[in-house]
């Protein structure tokens, strides 16, 4: 059994703190040695990706201290306990099994006589069979016509991850002839969200997936009612247009309102649920079950790397520990995620949720306050767009903000033009390479307004192309990074008590059970 | 003439610093007094909006110190100089005239014999005439058919602002029968961006607006070539499908490649250019010139409020100064923008650019280093979505992050359902009211994992409905807020030297003129 200790009780953390500002990356990246460093400071990830940390503020000394921290904090022991079914989510008394949705990493995990790996595989098969029947025209609308569009109704983890993954693979699927159906997403309780999505689809040929683990998420049930209302008004039978993704014990599970119900369970949290039926149903419908299977395989291969005790061969743990050094030793308050791929336009929003909801906490696993900072703010937009936007502050602003670049050698659609002797894809890649060096090395200028101090650390994940497998590896990489950071900070990364108070107060507002400031705000908003 | 001084040389800043942690908002918002505070701490904005700062860490003492700071920093004098045509953008030796695109606030500003207000109005009229002719079928494609779609090709300020405004008004225009044409946007040099947009439109009936002030923006010219290539391959004549928004001296200005050219100038920076032809052409085409005119009127009315020397009647300056207190006295590193309106889904990305590119600087107007922190990180997503995502960290994370809520009493489309005795719109508004109180007041719990410390400050802008006028007021509010903060920090908020180094290095990569670390990164990315 691993021992759960606060970060500031570990001897290796003291060592790490003594290494503040130890590496000057501008110097480290200069000259021929700099070139060698870029080649050396790289670790293979799954699906042909590579994690390059040459522009991070680390050297052999810092890396050795990080390796000691990984050992002392027993990170791999904790990961093993997690995937073998320990109750890691202590606050909610739950296991944490999202890895099991992609592969059996350890021993069988059996709950109430059910092997959980078998359960997840069975639900994948159920989603695949349903999707295949829809694609084959065996499941149709009332008129016997094929469905052409699928709309996910969900919020938070039931929305951001699946949406980001759909956008990431939409063009790839079209270029690779596996595109089956358009997907849309309704999430916000703002009625303009649902109304606009419904106005953009052909209702008679649309399937709707209602996603709610408990079957009680107010926003989602409200939007479901909104959609049912629209279907009914259009003379359509809602139960012939809807399926549910929910837990077996939820009110939605056995309802006759749905064509089918595909099951999730309490052991995969919302923000980690893209690989469960929450993402599986819609992605199988949109792109075919085989594409979703490739995504799971990519994630599984990355998970396998995350089990490696050798820090230098474990890109997920390495990224996590460099992040700890940046947050807790260097004192940087936020991190930007900058994919040089338009297909990843919503991937930063998904990571923002995954990271900030997991590690935005100040009490440890035993509900005791911690005296060090934890999860940073995560934000980002695709490059090159961001270059013409907020990069000004990243280059010359008050705070140093570590950067996480992502780049691919090839585009997804393969359509390109050659202007001034380079393709668009080459320009895209040239920009990300240039930015890494500009941020790290800077450039002196007598006019301080044009001076770049540099010393702004970044890493880059480089891949050949954004495919289902490399997307799965990317997803698993960041999930595992967040998990390892939660272990280091001694947090429970898998609950989210911080979202409860707002829910309770919103119910009181709707029940008109308020007074004082809350009542006046409610009045101002005409509730 | 106003005197430009660093913030830390002002006596009123010392006073402000002595007021650190002066107000306990949890206490201030409690009981009957709390209700009174919510009603009192509110300032009217233009177009029916109200700026409410009851949940900010201010009281009469702090507000009085802020008013002294406004006076000592001569904020209104500086604004007057700005709109009267002083060279405020010292680094580039330019005037700053975006306010003039909406109204003549001060004296005529004449450059080389041209009255700039007349110039902006003339370009608005040119865009309006062009749009009217397109809508009337007087300007058509080669086959004499009406255009149905307009696509903007631009990046940074030529993309984020116009895109955010289009998304904000798309449903409103549909509900109010002023919707004329679908709009799309191509920005990223990633070829998958242009390819995907082109695949989604009917080329033969699409107009393309090429937006580049200099006519030399590499990403934009590359995407223009990409589009021309596609038009030509489809047997269409590009010059019959394209117009330019550019400066009069740019290579695009008199080219026969375009149906027309509408002009911008050097005195409106990219991130402030939504109200110039950069936003005017596409918004006039999409919604009709009258809608764009309403947006300008809303912005002009807000600008008028920003001229008020009374801090309590100047919501833009008040918001700015509260932000200074939070950043420079309380020490908060970032700010979240949280609109409870799906239509504002990309508004935070626009503000992120506008704010971080303007004030993400550490040298003052005289290119001397400043010794205080300047612009914060800005990020955000629409509520209620964010509640199920990163709000965990906002409620219980290590750092306090000030929040900027935006809410409207009515939805744009007016389609709604009643579930559990409330409409979706009521639920939306109940959530934002609840969040303000949850963040400010918190809630004690013996289990510290369920404990909310509160004391997390927020403001809210409340409106009746998101219309062209209220959107214009909202846009001007934040632009003016950023301007006032730049004045306080003694920055030039209108240049962006921090984006130059990356451009220079990217060109070297494309010319294969690199060595060392940059060469190895370039090789890894297959350039």
Report the C-alpha gap between A252 and A296 in whole angstroms. Answer: 26
At A478 the pLDDT is 98
Task: Give the helix ranges, DSSP H, for B372-467.
Answer: 391-396, 424-441
* Closest C-alpha among B172, B166, B171, B211 to residue B184: B166
Integer distance in angstroms from the first to the last C-alpha of chain A?
A: 52
ipTM rounded to 2 decimals: 0.97
**DSSP secondary structure letters along B138-200:** SS--TTSPPP-EEEEE--GGGTHHHHHHHHHHHHHHHHTT----EEEEE--SSHHHHHHHHHH
Cβ proximity of B289 and B131 under 8 Å: yes
A340 interfaces chain B, CB cutoff of 8 Å: yes
> B 444-473 residues with CB below 8 A of A?
447-452, 460, 462
What is the DSSP secondary-structure string of B281-300?
HHHHHHH-HHHHHHHHHHHH
Task: State the pLDDT at residue B428.
Answer: 96
Is B330 at the interface with chain A, CB within 8 A? Answer: no
Nearest CB to A188; choose among B342, B415, B416: B342
**Of B191, B361, B392, which has the smallest distance from its Cβ to A397's Cβ?**
B361
Scan residues 88-127 of A and list those with Cβ closer than 8 Å to B: 91
Report CB contact under 8 Å: A521, B38.
yes
Q: Classify strands B50-52 and B42-44 as parallel, antiparallel or unpaired.
A: antiparallel
Query: Which residues from chain B sit within 8 angstroms of residue A452, using beta carbons?
Result: 498, 501
Question: Which pLDDT tens digit goes with each residue over B260-310?
Answer: 999 999 999 999 999 999 999 999 999 999 999 999 999 999 999 999 999
Nearest alpha carbon to residue A509 among A524, A492, A495: A524
User: Residue B160: which pLDDT band, with cuts at 50, 70 and 90?
Assistant: very high
Active site residue B503: yes
CB contact under 8 A, A360 and B401: no
Cβ neighbours of A378 in B, within 8 Å? 390
**Catalytic-role residue among B357, B381, B477, B479:** B357
The listed CATH number (2.40.50.140, 3.20.20.150, 3.40.50.300, 3.40.50.10490) that belongs to domain A101-293: 3.40.50.10490
Interface of A with B in 369-388 (CB under 8 A): 369, 373-375, 377-379, 381-385, 387-388
CATH no. of A11-97+295-493: 3.40.50.10490
Active site residue A503: yes
Q: What is the pLDDT of residues B1-42, one digit of tens each?
A: 899 999 999 999 999 999 999 999 999 999 999 999 999 999
Question: What does the pLDDT look like over B388-431, one tens digit per residue?
Answer: 999 999 999 999 999 999 999 999 999 999 999 999 999 999 99
Read off the pLDDT band of B522 (50, 70, 90). Answer: very high
The structure tokens 């294969």 sit at B512
Nearest CA in chain B to A198: B415
Q: Which two tokens stand for residue A266?
A: 């309490």
| pLDDT-based confidence at residue B497 (cuts at 50, 70, 90) | very high
The alpha carbon of B99 is separated from its chain's Cα centroid by a whole number of angstroms, namely 14
Backbone phi, psi, residue A151, to 5°: -120, 125
Give how far Cα A176 sits from Cα of A10, A341, B445, Å: 50, 18, 54
Contacts of B334 in chain A (CB under 8 A): 333-334, 377
Which residue, A348, A396, A411, A337, is CA-closest to B188? A411
Could you tell me where the DSSP H helices lie in A207-314?
Answer: 218-233, 277-287, 289-306
Q: Select the residue of A229, A381, A424 nearest B189 (Cβ to Cβ).
A: A424
The residue from A357, A477, A479, A481 that is catalytic is A357
**Contact, B105 vs B304, CB < 8 A?**
yes
- Would an 8 Å CB–CB cutoff place B366 in contact with chain A? no
CB of A234 less than 8 A from some CB of B: no
3-state secondary structure B298-352: HHHHHHHHHCCCCHHHCHHHHHHHHHHHHHHHCCCCEEEEEEECHHHCCHHHHHH
Active-site entry in A20, A36, A409, A503:
A503
Instruction: Characterize the bridge pairing of strands B458-463 and B261-264.
Output: unpaired
The average confidence (pLDDT) of chain B is 97
- What is the interface size between A and B, counted as CB pairs within 8 Å? 505
Q: Which of A32, A60, A388, A446 is catalytic?
A: A388
Query: What pLDDT score was predicted for residue B41?
Result: 98
Interface contact A30-B517, CB threshold 8 A = yes
B228-262 CB burial, b ≥16 within 10 A, e <16: bbbbeeeebebeebbbbbbbeebebeeeeebbebb
Q: Using 50, 70 and 90 to split pLDDT, how confident is the model at B71?
A: very high
Residues 167-186 of chain B with CB under 8 A from chain A are 170-171, 174
Enter the tokens of residue A385: 């767009």
Which three-class secondary structure state does DSSP give residue B495? Answer: coil
Q: What is the DSSP letter of A470?
A: H
Distance (Å, whole) CA B158 – CA A265:
46
- What is the C-alpha R_g of chain B? 24
Q: What is the pLDDT of residue A111?
A: 96
CA atoms of B198 and B126, how far apart (whole Å)? 27
Tokens of B467: 């219309």
Please name the residues in contact with B6: beta carbons below 8 A apart, sequence gap of 6 or more: B364, B368, B370, B371, B372, B490
Chain A residues touching B224 at Cβ < 8 A: none
Which residues 270-289 on chain A approach chain B with CB closer than 8 angstroms?
270-271
Domains of chain B, residue spans: 105-294, 496-527
CATH class for the region spanning B105-294: alpha beta
Query: Is B357's CB within 8 Å of A392's CB?
Result: yes
Selection from B307, B275, B305 nearest residue B292 by Cα:
B275
Rounded CA-CA distance B317/B322 in Å is 9
Place of tokens 């408990």: A214
Decide if A388 is catalytic.
yes
Nearest Cα residue to B454 out of B466, B441, B467: B441
Which of A466, A459, A463, A479 shows the shortest CA–CA distance to A351? A479
Quote the percentage of chain B above a pLDDT of 90: 99
Buried b (16+ CB within 10 A) or exposed e, A268-283: bbbbbbbbbbbbbbbb
Instruction: Give the phi and the psi of residue B244 in degrees, each rounded to 5.
Output: -120, 140
Q: B-contacting residues of A 146-165, CB under 8 Å? A: 155-157, 159-160
Separation CA B51–CA B345 (nearest Å): 20
Round to whole Å and give the CA distance between B489 and B483.
10
Which H or E run contains A274? none
Q: Which residues in chain A touch residue B347, judged by CB atoms under 8 angstroms apart?
A: none
Distance separating alpha carbons of residues B32 and A224, to the nearest angstrom = 39
Is B372 within 8 Å of B361 (Cβ atoms)?
no
Q: Which residue of B has its CA nearest to A271?
A: B389
Reduced to 3 states, what is the DSSP secondary structure of residue A24? coil
Helix axes B160-175, B347-359, angle to 10 degrees: 150
Residues recorded for chain A: 527
Confirm whether A11-97+295-493 and A101-293 share one CATH topology: yes
Chain A residues near residue B397 by CB distance under 8 angstroms:
356, 360-362, 374-375, 498
- Closest chain B residue to A228, measured at CA: B417
- Say how far apart CA A363 and CA A373 lie, in whole Å: 10
Q: What is the Cα–Cα distance from A412 to B191, expressed in whole angstroms?
A: 9
3-class DSSP string for B24-79? CHHHHCCHHHHHHHHHHCEEECHHHCEEECCCCCCCHHHHHHHHHHHHHCCHHHHH
Q: Which residues contact B425 (CB under 8 A, 6 or more apart)?
A: A190, A191, B409, B410, B411, B416
pLDDT digits (tens, 9 = 90+) for B127-159: 999 999 999 999 999 999 999 999 999 999 999
Please state at what angle helix A347-359 crosses helix A468-489, rounded to 10 degrees. 20
Per-residue pLDDT 10s for chain A (527 aa) are 899 999 999 999 999 999 999 999 999 999 999 999 999 999 999 999 999 999 999 999 999 999 999 999 999 999 999 999 999 999 899 999 999 999 999 999 999 999 999 999 999 999 999 999 999 999 999 999 999 999 999 999 999 999 999 999 999 999 999 999 999 999 999 999 999 999 999 999 999 999 999 999 989 999 999 999 999 999 999 999 999 999 999 999 999 999 999 999 999 999 999 999 999 999 999 999 999 999 999 999 999 999 999 999 999 999 999 999 999 999 999 999 999 999 999 999 999 999 999 999 999 999 999 999 999 999 999 999 999 999 999 999 999 999 999 999 999 999 999 999 999 999 999 999 999 999 999 999 999 999 999 999 999 999 999 999 999 999 999 999 999 999 999 999 999 999 999 999 999 999 999 999 999 999 999 99
What pLDDT is stored for residue B502 in this prediction?
96
Q: What is the mean pLDDT of residues B71-79?
A: 98
- Angle CA B488–B66–B103, to nearest 5: 60
- CB contacts of B457 in chain A (<8 Å) are none
- A190 touches B: beta carbon within 8 Å: yes
Q: In the prediction, which pLDDT does B211 show? A: 98
Three-class DSSP category at B508: helix
Check if the beta carbon of residue B510 is closer than 8 Å to that of residue A427: yes
Contact B358, B350 (CB under 8 A): no
Distance from CA of B275 to the nearest CA of A (A): 18
Q: Can you give the pTM of this predicted structure?
A: 0.97
| Amino acid A173: pLDDT | 98
CB-based contact, B420 to chain A, within 8 Å:
yes
Q: Which residue of B has its CA nearest to A398?
A: B373
Assigned token pair, B475: 């846009």
If you ran DSSP here, which 8-state letter would residue A311 be given? G
Query: Taking the CA of residue B445 as centre, how many other CA atoms within 13 Å lie in the half-sphere pointing to its CB?
Result: 18
């Amino acid at each position: 059994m691993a021992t759960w200790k606060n970060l500031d009780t570990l001897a290796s953390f003291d060592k790490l703190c003594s290494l503040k500002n130890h590496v000057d990356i501008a110097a480290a990246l200069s000259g021929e040695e700099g070139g060698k460093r870029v080649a050396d400071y790289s670790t293979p990830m799954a699906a042909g990706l590579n994690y390059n940390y040459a522009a991070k503020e680390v050297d052999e000394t810092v890396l050795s201290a990080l390796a000691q921290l990984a050992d002392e904090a027993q990170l791999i022991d904790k990961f093993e306990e997690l995937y073998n079914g320990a109750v890691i989510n202590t606050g909610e008394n739950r296991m944490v099994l999202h890895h099991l949705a992609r592969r059996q990493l350890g021993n069988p995990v059996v709950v109430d006589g059910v092997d959980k790996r078998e359960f997840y595989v069975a639900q994948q098969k159920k989603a695949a069979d349903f999707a295949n029947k829809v694609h084959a025209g065996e499941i149709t609308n009332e008129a016997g016509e094929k469905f052409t569009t699928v709309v996910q109704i969900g919020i938070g983890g039931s929305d951001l991850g699946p949406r980001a993954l759909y956008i990431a693979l939409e063009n790839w699927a079209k270029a690779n002839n596996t595109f089956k159906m358009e997907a849309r997403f309704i999430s916000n309780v703002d009625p303009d969200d649902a109304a606009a999505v419904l106005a953009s689809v052909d209702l008679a040929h649309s399937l709707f997936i209602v996603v709610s683990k408990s079957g009680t998420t107010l926003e989602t049930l409200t939007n479901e009612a909104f959609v049912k209302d629209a279907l009914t008004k259009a003379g359509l039978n809602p139960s012939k247009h809807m399926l549910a993704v929910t837990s077996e014990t939820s009110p939605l599970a056995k309802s006759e309102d749905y064509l089918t119900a595909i099951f999730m369970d309490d052991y995969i949290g919302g923000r980690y649920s893209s690989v469960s039926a929450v993402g599986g149903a819609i992605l199988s419908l949109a792109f075919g079950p085989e594409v979703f299977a490739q995504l799971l395989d990519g994630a599984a291969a990355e998970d396998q790397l995350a089990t490696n005790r050798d820090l230098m061969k474990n890109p997920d743990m390495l990224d996590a520990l460099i992040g700890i050094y940046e947050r807790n030793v260097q004192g940087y308050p936020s991190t930007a995620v900058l994919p040089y791929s338009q297909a990843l336009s919503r991937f930063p929003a998904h990571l923002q949720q995954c990271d900030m909801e997991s590690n935005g906490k100040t009490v440890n696993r035993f509900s005791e306050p911690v005296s060090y900072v934890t999860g940073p703010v995560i934000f980002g937009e695709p490059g090159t767009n961001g270059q013409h936007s907020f990069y000004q502050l990243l280059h010359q602003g008050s705070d140093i903000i570590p950067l996480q670049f992502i780049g691919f050698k090839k585009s997804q659609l393969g359509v390109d033009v050659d202007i001034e002797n380079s393709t668009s894809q080459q320009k895209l890649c040239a920009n990300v390479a240039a930015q890494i060096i500009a941020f790290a090395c800077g450039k002196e200028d007598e006019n301080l307004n044009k001076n770049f101090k540099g010393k702004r650390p970044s890493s880059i994940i480089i891949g050949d192309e954004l495919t289902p497998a490399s997307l799965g590896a990317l997803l698993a990489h960041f999930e595992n990074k967040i998990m390892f950071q939660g272990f280091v900070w001694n947090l429970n990364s898998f609950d989210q008590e911080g979202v409860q108070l707002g829910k309770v107060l919103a119910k009181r507002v709707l029940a008109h059970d308020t007074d004082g400031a809350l009542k006046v705000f409610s009045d101002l908003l005409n509730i």
